[in-house]
């Protein structure tokens, strides 16, 4: 009768050269050997499958794979070009900022690095120097930041343009000087018991009479005691009047420039000799032209 210990063992018999050798192994050891051999077989099969797959890719998909690699290289080169353009564009933006700062100093316009008066906030972004291997994300972020920066600069430049335009208009539309060459024969003030509301510049008939500031002609006609008369509206409540003219050279509604010839000196209306009567009118009331000479 076989005991329990012998039942749990496996006997292997090897015959070589007519000789027989027996090996007695436990079933547990035998199972381990079978498992190891199985794993070896599975590994060899996996290697064979991989070799087959590689051989299949090399034969059927090699051209497509190479095309994809070439496309990838081409796209990376394009990204690098865009990255360099982003750097160049940022350099241009920096020059615009420098010019903007100079203009603000010249115009004495307040500045804010963070927020302009329009409410547009500049992004606090540093721009890296793009080298080979730039990625789409970094280029896209930098281009977006440059776009915001340009919008901010545009807004600020428009603000400065408005300031300069306002100052220019004040300069060219503010009366300055006398309207004709000649001798001042009468000043603003009391004369003959009443107000002489302007000053008189005397010269010969036909002497050119010019606008002392830019504006729009609001009257160019006979005007009672003023004779032939021209008035020009300069905006901001300021007008000028040119009376006793000989010939009128502009029509109502015409835009005139500072120094433009608008009439010739005459002796029309209530006048004691050839001259131009010149008035500066502010908010409907004549003021002393001496403040505008």
What is the rounded CA–CA span in Å between residue 102 and residue 247? 48
Could you tell me if 264 and 190 lie in one domain? Answer: yes
Given a contact cutoff of 8 angstroms between Cβ atoms, the answer to whether 222 and 283 are in contact is: no
Using the 3D structure, point to which of 114, 142, 172 is the last residue of a domain.
172
Q: Which residue has the higher pLDDT, 11 or 94?
A: 94
Residues 166 and 219 in one domain: no
Domain boundary among 140, 172, 204: 172
- SS3 of 143-199: HHHHHHHHHHHHHHHHHHHHHHHHHHHHHHCCCCCCCCCCEEEECCEEECCEEECCE
Do 53 and 115 fall within a single domain?
Answer: no
Q: Which residues form the domain of 239?
A: 183-292
In a domain, 261, yes or no: yes
Pair 264, 233: CB distance under 8 Å? no
Residue 68 lies in a domain: no
Identify whether residues 191 and 286 lie together within a single domain: yes
* Last-in-domain residue among 117, 151, 172: 172
> Would you say residue 107 has pLDDT above 90?
no
Q: Which of 141-150, 156-165, 278-287 has the lowest mean pLDDT?
A: 141-150
69, part of any domain? no
Percent of the chain with pLDDT over 90: 39
Number of domains in the chain: 3
Mean pLDDT value across residues 272-287: 96
User: How confident is the model at residue 93, as a pLDDT?
Assistant: 78
**71, part of any domain:** no
Domain of 283, CATH number, reads 2.70.70.10
Per DSSP, the residues of 24-82 read EEEHHHHHHHHHHHHHHHHHHHHHHHHHHHHHHHHHHTHHHHHHHHHHHHHHHHHHHHH
Give yes or no: residues 215 and 250 share one domain: yes
Name the residue with tokens 């000789």. Answer: 19
As a whole number of angstroms, the distance between CA 172 and CA 30 comes to: 111
d(CA 137, CA 6): 73
Query: In this structure, are 251 and 288 located in the same domain?
Result: yes
Query: Are 100 and 137 within one domain?
Result: yes
Is 65 inside a domain boundary?
no
Helix (H) or strand (E) holding 85, with range, is: helix 62-107
Any idea which of 45-49, 119-123, 267-271, 272-276 has the lowest mean pLDDT?
119-123
If asked whether residues 284 and 205 sit together in one domain, one would say yes
Q: DSSP labels for 21-37?
A: EEEEEEHHHHHHHHHHH
* One domain, residues 190 and 285: yes
- In this predicted structure, the answer to whether residue 111 has a pLDDT above a threshold of 70 is no
Lowest-pLDDT choice from 2-6, 20-24, 140-144, 153-157: 2-6
């Amino acid at each position: 009768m076989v005991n329990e210990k012998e039942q749990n063992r496996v006997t292997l018999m090897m015959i070589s050269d007519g000789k027989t050798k027996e090996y007695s192994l436990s079933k547990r050891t035998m199972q381990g050997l079978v498992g190891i051999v199985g794993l070896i077989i599975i590994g060899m099969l996996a290697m064979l499958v991989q070799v087959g797959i590689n051989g299949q890719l090399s034969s059927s998909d090699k051209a497509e794979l190479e095309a994809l690699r070439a496309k990838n290289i081409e796209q990376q080169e394009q990204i690098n070009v865009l990255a360099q353009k982003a750097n160049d564009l940022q350099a241009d933006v920096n020059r615009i900022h420098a010019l903007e700062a100079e203009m603000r100093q010249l115009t004495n316009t307040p500045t804010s690095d963070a927020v302009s008066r329009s409410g547009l906030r500049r992004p606090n972004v540093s721009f890296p120097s793009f080298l080979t291997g730039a990625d789409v994300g970094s280029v896209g972020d930098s281009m977006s930041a440059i776009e915001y920066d340009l919008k901010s600069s545009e807004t600020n430049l428009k603000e400065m343009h408005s300031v300069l335009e306002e100052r220019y208009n004040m300069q060219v539309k503010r009366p300055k000087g006398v309207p004709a060459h000649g001798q001042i024969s009468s000043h603003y003030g009391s004369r003959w018991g009443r107000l002489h509301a302007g000053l008189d510049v005397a010269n010969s008939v036909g002497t050119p009479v010019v606008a002392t500031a830019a504006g729009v002609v609001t009257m160019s006609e006979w005007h009672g005691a003023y004779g032939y008369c021209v008035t020009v509206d300069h905006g901001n409540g300021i007008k000028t009047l040119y009376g006793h003219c000989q010939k009128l050279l502009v029509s109502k509604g015409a835009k005139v420039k500072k120094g433009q010839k608008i009439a010739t000196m005459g002796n029309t209306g209530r006048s004691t000799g050839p001259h131009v009567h010149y008035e500066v009118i502010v908010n409907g009331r004549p003021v002393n032209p001496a403040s505008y000479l």
